[in-house]
Every structure is written in C-alpha cells, then in structure tokens.
C-alpha cells in the first residue's frame, strides 16, 4: 500500500506555543489529505480535509483559526496547532487518498502524539 | 443514529478460533467499505476493502458485504494473539473526494 509519513512522531510543548505537524505522501501524489484527532480510548475524529492549492474544509466544531492547515504541494500537508493548550493534547493522525486508485482508499500516517504542558 | 455502528467489545476469542466483527451503516449511498486495524497507540492500518456484495478473502481475513441489509463484517480465521487490536469499520460514498466515515471500533482480544 501507499506510504504516508508524519513528523514529528512526538512533541511536548509549553502552553501558548504553536506546533507544526507535517504529513507527507512518499510514493504518490495526494491532492487530498485528511487530519484526524484521537483522544485516548476514543475513535478517530475528522478535523479537516486538506486540498492541494485551496483552503481546507473544516468539520463542524473545529476552529480553523486554531488549527491551521496548509497543503502546499501534492505530497505535503501541514497542521499547525496555534497557541496550544493542555486540552489540545491528543494523537493527531493524517491520511492521504491515493488518486491512482479508483475507489476511495485512505492510507494513514503513523501519527503525532502532542502533549501540551 | 450513528452513521457507522460497531459493537465496542471487547470481543474475546481463543487462539485459533474465528473472530467475527460486525458493522452497520446508515447511508444507503455508501459504496466503499473498509476495515482498518489499530493497535494501541498506533495509527490505523488498512487491512481490507470491499465494494460489491458478497465475500472477499485475503489470507486469514474475509470481508462480507450486504448492501441491502447495510451490513459489513470481517471474519478472521485462525485468530492469533497478534490480531488483538481495535478494528475500525469505515464507509464512503462513491468516488470523488468524499470523506470516509469511521465507526468507533471493536476491540478484539485473542486469548492464547
């Protein structure tokens, strides 16, 4: 299957700082990437859909000014958590859709665990 | 009503047995169906996809789809302790850049 990477895998930061997470598709070009958040013992929650060359589409209840998404190229999307607070501590996972496949198939990155102190 | 429903479990099966995981969905327009496996602390891993009614087999895994009943299942034969994980069911409409909807997952425990 397709390979998606994320960086960093772990980040610890102080409250009030901003954190940038990168998501890369390594062996295919992804016009669409997705950002999820998962709290302990809960399922994936879609935060936003990242479209190359256009603005991201945010899910209801997700603050677009707090979670900045930039899909600068066909292989890179970034999520910036601005002014992070302890309640933003979570497991952030990106996924990318392989347009080479006819049907909708998403491949997930390994995730980024964020801890805000 | 949740769009994709799964029993949260845990589902416990002895090693070597068949594990049966079930999922129902509400959107009759769904055309693509996926099963992901998620180990604790890790991101989901795609293990099966199915698009038409019937069975699809891949090694020890068999996905079953019944669109009339809006039901999709995953069978794991000869279950191994390494199969212990949370299994996420996901559905998507046909084509385009439609978002995938995930269930909350079923936790499977394979007892040695």
pLDDT, tens only, B63-103: 999 999 999 999 999 999 999 999 999 998 765 456 788 89
Nearest CA distance, B28 vs chain A (angstrom):
16
Contacts of A51 in chain B (CB under 8 A): 97
Chain A: residue nearest B47 by CA?
A1
Is A108 in Cβ contact with B97 (below 8 Å)? Answer: no
Q: What would the 3-class secondary structure string for A42-111 be?
A: CCCEEEEEEECCCCCEECCCCCCCCEEEEEEECCEEEEEECCCCHHHCEEEEEEEECCCCCCCCEEECCC
Phi/psi class of residue B67: alpha, beta or left (left: φ > 0; alpha: ψ in -120 to 50)? alpha
Q: How many CB atoms lie within 10 A of CB B78?
A: 12
Q: What percent of chain B has pLDDT over 90?
A: 76
Q: What is the pLDDT of residue A105?
A: 74
A–B CB contacts, 8 A cutoff, strictly below: 56
Q: Mean pLDDT, chain B, as a whole number?
A: 92
User: Which chain B residues in 47-76 lie under 8 Å from chain A, judged by CB atoms?
Assistant: 49, 51
Distance CA B64, CA B18 (A): 14
Confidence of residue B2 (pLDDT cuts 50, 70, 90): low
Q: Which position has the higher pLDDT, B62 or B93?
A: B62
Whether residues B102 and A42 touch (CB distance < 8 A) is answered with no
Judge whether B12 is closer than 8 Å to chain A, CB to CB: no
* A76 and chain B in contact, CB less than 8 A: no
Give me the residues of chain A with pLDDT under 70, please: 1, 101-104
In angstroms, rounded to a whole number, what is the distance separating the alpha carbons of residues B92 and B1?
A: 17
Q: Does residue B18 surpass a pLDDT of 70?
A: yes
pLDDT at B92: 86
Task: Please answer yes or no on whether B100 and A31 come within 8 Å at the CB atom.
Answer: no
Position B94 scores a pLDDT of 67
Closest partner CB to B46 (pick from A34, A105, A109): A105
Residue with the two structure tokens 């890369």: A24
Nearest CB to B102 within list A43, A107, A109: A43
């Amino acid at each position: 299957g397709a390979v998606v990477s994320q960086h960093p895998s772990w980040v610890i930061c102080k409250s009030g700082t901003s954190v940038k997470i990168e998501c890369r598709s390594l062996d295919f070009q992804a016009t669409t990437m997705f950002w999820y958040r998962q709290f302990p013992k809960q399922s994936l929650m879609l935060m936003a859909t990242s479209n190359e060359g256009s603005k991201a589409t945010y899910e209801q209840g997700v603050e677009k000014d707090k979670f900045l998404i930039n899909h600068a190229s066909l292989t890179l999307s970034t999520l910036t958590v601005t002014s992070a607070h302890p309640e933003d501590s979570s497991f952030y996972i990106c996924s990318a859709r392989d347009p080479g496949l006819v049907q909708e198939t998403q491949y997930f990155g390994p995730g980024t665990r964020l801890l805000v102190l | 009503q949740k769009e994709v429903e799964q029993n949260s479990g845990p589902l416990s099966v002895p090693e070597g047995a068949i594990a049966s995981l079930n999922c129902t969905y509400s959107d009759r327009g769904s055309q693509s169906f996926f099963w992901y496996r998620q180990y604790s602390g890790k991101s989901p891993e795609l293990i099966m996809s199915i698009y038409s009614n019937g069975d699809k087999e891949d090694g020890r895994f068999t996905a079953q789809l019944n669109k009339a009943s809006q039901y999709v299942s995953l069978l794991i034969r000869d279950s191994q302790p390494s199969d212990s994980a949370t299994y996420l069911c996901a559905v998507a409409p046909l084509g385009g850049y439609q978002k995938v909807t995930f269930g909350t997952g079923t936790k499977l425990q394979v007892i040695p």
